[in-house]
Amino acid sequence: MKRNRVEVFNRSPSDFYISEKKKEIDTWGKSLYGTTEIVKEENLLEELAKFCSFEETNDIREIALQLEEDIAIINKGVLSAICFCFPSSWVPSERLGASLSELHEPVADGDQLIKASSKLSKVMERQNILRWIWTITTNSSLSNHPEYERPELIGMESLYLRVETQTSAPLTEESSLFFVKVNVFPLNQVWSNSILESINSMSEEVLLYKNLKEIKDFLNEPNRCFN
């Protein structure tokens, strides 16, 4: 995690991402998005549209479908609006109203992150932040919605590196924006020994949380060949 000094979202989104978002919303509907009353009371969606230089709207979907990134609003440390078309094994609408500490509770080895959540929400209201999250998966799609069946591990050609670029930016004095850009790459194309070293350094709790136990064993098999 570090201070972000570049654009927090792509102002020239690709048609591919917009098309994939529409497919996910058509498939999963309201499970992907929602808002709380505070968002309406404080016109935060209108503020978000203004931040993005979009036409004024109070519909989180309309904004999300103009972005490559998934989008959320944090108000006073609470998730107050969200449209995540490409979630990572969780249902976005079920997290509405949760505090940052509650959102971080499922994260393995996340005690320090939970303790810092209140401070982090204040920092997000004051400056732009950038961080990356990654994992290895057998799912080649942008969405890891929990209702999707995870493909079986059948070889290196069935593994993908999933990377989330997470950026945040202040919106109002007591709220911030949270953008997530998802990229998925065939593991063979981006392989580095540092990936395996990182996986081997993870605790059992983290491996379980990231669904990496079987993948770790596979990657550590003797005479494993990487193209």
Q: Give residue 106's pLDDT.
A: 61
pLDDT of residue 58: 92
Tokens of 215: 């993948």
Give the pLDDT band (50/70/90) at residue 222: confident
Nearest C-alpha neighbor of 146 from the set 226, 32, 224:
32
Question: Which of 60, 49, 50, 58 shows the shortest CA–CA distance to 21?
Answer: 60
Say which DSSP state 169 is in. E
21-64 pLDDT, tens digit per residue, is 999 999 999 999 999 999 999 999 999 999 999 999 999 999 99
Q: What pLDDT sits at residue 120? A: 76
Q: What is the DSSP letter of 119?
A: H
Question: What is the per-residue pLDDT for 227?
Answer: 60
Q: Residue 166 forms beta bridges with which residues?
A: 131, 180
Go through 34-47 and write b for each residue having 16 or more CB atoms within 10 A of its CB, e for each that does not: bbbebbeebebbeb
Q: Which two tokens stand for residue 58?
A: 């109070």
The string of DSSP codes covering 54-90 is PPP-S-HHHHHTT-SSEEEEEETTEEEEEE-SS-BSS
User: Which residue, among 16, 7, 161, 24, has the nearest Cα to 84 in the 3D structure?
Assistant: 24
Q: What is the pLDDT of residue 125?
A: 85
Confidence of residue 203 (pLDDT cuts 50, 70, 90): very high
CA dist., res. 102 & res. 117, Å (int): 9
pLDDT digits (tens, 9 = 90+) for 107-165: 655 566 656 667 777 888 899 999 999 999 999 999 999 999 999 999 999 999 999 99
